[in-house]
């Protein structure tokens, strides 16, 4: 594996000018990070955080205001042609002519990339995404999951070493999501570096080796997935009691204590300040018996919520 990152971003900024009543907006503010070659890299953030702007800059669809970006070692400004050939973008929207067949979609896209007919791998790619049996059916007849897979196939026609998947499992059912997960793993095992944006945090935790989080146009985290999860030093315990609790218990270690159902309370506490036994002992000290108890460890969702809520929310206007 090369020491050169698959994607290198330095001090990237994008400022949108004011349009009509819409004020100027700083969509990306001094973003810097690397995507390691051969990894699955998660890019997370709330709606409007700047993820799509960043992806569109890499794809050559949006012009950056400042900073540099390289794809596979090629500067997106000074070596635009090679940079574009090194990356495949799978957008959120379903974008292909519904009256073409999947085979025709891939052939046409390969032509746009200048891939000679002798080097095109349309059927091989359709086979890889399990669409070879639909190669000559109209694209409009495909199911939602099949259309998602066709988008991935379309992004692979020029054999890019880097693939960006922008919300690839949005709107698909659980079974199809799992199938797409396996497809992502297979492509990565074949050496493709993958950048994944998703709103499903369990998806990022399951697939990604490393995760960057963008909020309000700023990079607020960039760590291996396991390290991010370990940042959460909270645990949640749900207690079902033998009677109603008039006053909820309090303790310096409690981050939150709330009644979630009749005779059931949920306590979020700091693992550095208390353990489950101490939490239950405190509740029992109020003269209440615990009928049932369940616990949950912190996960990526807890970290995400914590980081994005702590990040500054000040307006950044040009």
Would 74 be classed as within a structural domain? Answer: yes
Q: Do 214 and 102 fall into the same domain?
A: yes
Contact 158, 115 (CB under 8 A): yes
Would 37 be classed as within a structural domain? Answer: yes
Would 36 be classed as within a structural domain? Answer: yes
Q: Do 205 and 239 fall into the same domain?
A: no
**What b/e string do you get for 241-267 counting C-beta neighbours within 10 Å, with b at 16 or more?**
beeebeeebeeebbeebeeeeeeebbb
Q: Is the pLDDT of residue 136 over 80?
A: yes
Q: Is the pLDDT of residue 149 over 80?
A: yes
Eight-state DSSP code of residue 302 = H
Total domain count, the chain? 2
Q: Is the pLDDT of residue 224 over 90?
A: yes
Q: Do 54 and 200 fall into the same domain?
A: yes
Would 302 be classed as within a structural domain? Answer: no
Q: Do 293 and 200 fall into the same domain?
A: no
Its domain, for residue 172, covers 7-228
Q: Do 245 and 216 fall into the same domain?
A: no
d(CA 66, CA 11): 7
pLDDT digit string, tens, across residues 31-43: 999 999 999 999 9
Would 240 be classed as within a structural domain? Answer: yes
Would 312 be classed as within a structural domain? Answer: no
Q: Do 47 and 109 fall into the same domain?
A: yes
pLDDT value at residue 314: 38
Model confidence, pTM: 0.77
pLDDT digit string, tens, across residues 24-33: 889 999 999 9
Looking at per-residue pLDDT, the higher value among 101 and 245 belongs to 101
pLDDT digit string, tens, across residues 159-215: 999 999 998 887 777 888 888 899 999 999 999 999 999 888 888 989 999 999 998
CATH number at residue 241: 3.30.70
pLDDT value at residue 315: 37
Could you tell me where the beta strands, DSSP code E, fall in 151-285?
Answer: 162-166, 193-197, 210-215, 218-224, 234-241, 254-261, 264-270
Q: Is the pLDDT of residue 317 over 70?
A: no
The mean pLDDT of the chain is 88
Would 317 be classed as within a structural domain? Answer: no
pLDDT digit string, tens, across residues 12-25: 999 999 888 888 88
Domain end among 228, 262, 280: 228
Would 222 be classed as within a structural domain? Answer: yes
Q: Do 90 and 195 fall into the same domain?
A: yes
Q: Do 105 and 83 fall into the same domain?
A: yes
Beta strand pairing status for 162-166 and 254-261?
unpaired
Q: Do 90 and 14 fall into the same domain?
A: yes
Q: Is the pLDDT of residue 70 over 90?
A: yes
Q: Do 239 and 216 fall into the same domain?
A: no
DSSP string, 116-128: -GGG--HHHHHHH
Name the percent of the chain lying above pLDDT 70.
95
Question: What CA dihedral angle connects 42, 48, 53 and 55, to 10 degrees?
Answer: 20
Domain end among 204, 228, 252: 228
Average pLDDT over residues 236-264: 87
pLDDT digit string, tens, across residues 268-297: 888 878 888 888 988 888 888 999 998 876
Cα three-residue angle 99-104-187, rounded to 5 degrees: 115
Q: Do 76 and 167 fall into the same domain?
A: yes
pLDDT classification of 311: cutoffs 50, 70, 90: low
Domain end among 228, 243, 277: 228
CATH number at residue 14: 3.40.50.300
Q: Do 131 and 248 fall into the same domain?
A: no
């Amino acid at each position: 594996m090369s020491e050169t990152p698959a994607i290198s971003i330095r001090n990237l900024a994008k400022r949108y000018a004011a349009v009509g009543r819409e004020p100027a907006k700083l969509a990306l503010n001094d973003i810097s990070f690397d995507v390691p070659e051969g990894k699955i890299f998660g890019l997370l953030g709330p709606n409007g955080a700047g993820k799509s702007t960043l992806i569109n800059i890499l794809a050559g669809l949006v012009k950056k205001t400042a900073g540099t970006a390289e794809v596979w070692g090629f500067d997106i400004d000074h070596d635009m042609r090679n940079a574009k050939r090194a990356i495949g973008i799978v957008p959120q929207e379903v974008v292909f002519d519904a009256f073409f067949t999947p085979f025709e979609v891939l052939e046409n896209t390969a032509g746009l990339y200048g891939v000679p007919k002798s080097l095109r791998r349309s059927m091989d790619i359709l086979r890889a995404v399990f669409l070879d049996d639909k190669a000559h059916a109209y694209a409009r007849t495909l199911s939602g999951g099949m259309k998602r897979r066709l988008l991935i196939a379309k992004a692979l026609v020029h054999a890019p070493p880097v693939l960006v998947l922008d919300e690839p499992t949005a709107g698909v059912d659980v079974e199809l999501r799992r199938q797409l997960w396996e497809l992502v793993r297979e492509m990565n095992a074949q050496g493709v570096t993958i950048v994944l944006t998703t709103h499903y945090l369990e998806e990022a935790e399951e697939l990604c080796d490393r995760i960057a989080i963008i909020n309000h146009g700023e990079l607020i985290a960039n760590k291996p997935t396991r390290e991010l999860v370990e940042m959460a030093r909270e645990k949640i315990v749900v207690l079902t009691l033998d009677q109603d609790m008039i006053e909820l218990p309090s303790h310096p270690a409690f981050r939150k204590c709330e009644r979630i159902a009749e005779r059931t309370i949920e306590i979020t506490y700091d693992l550095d300040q208390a353990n489950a036994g101490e939490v239950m002992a405190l509740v029992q000290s109020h003269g209440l018996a615990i009928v049932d108890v369940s616990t949950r460890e912190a996960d990526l969702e807890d970290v995400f919520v914590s980081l994005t809520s702590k990040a500054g929310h000040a307006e950044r206007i040009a």
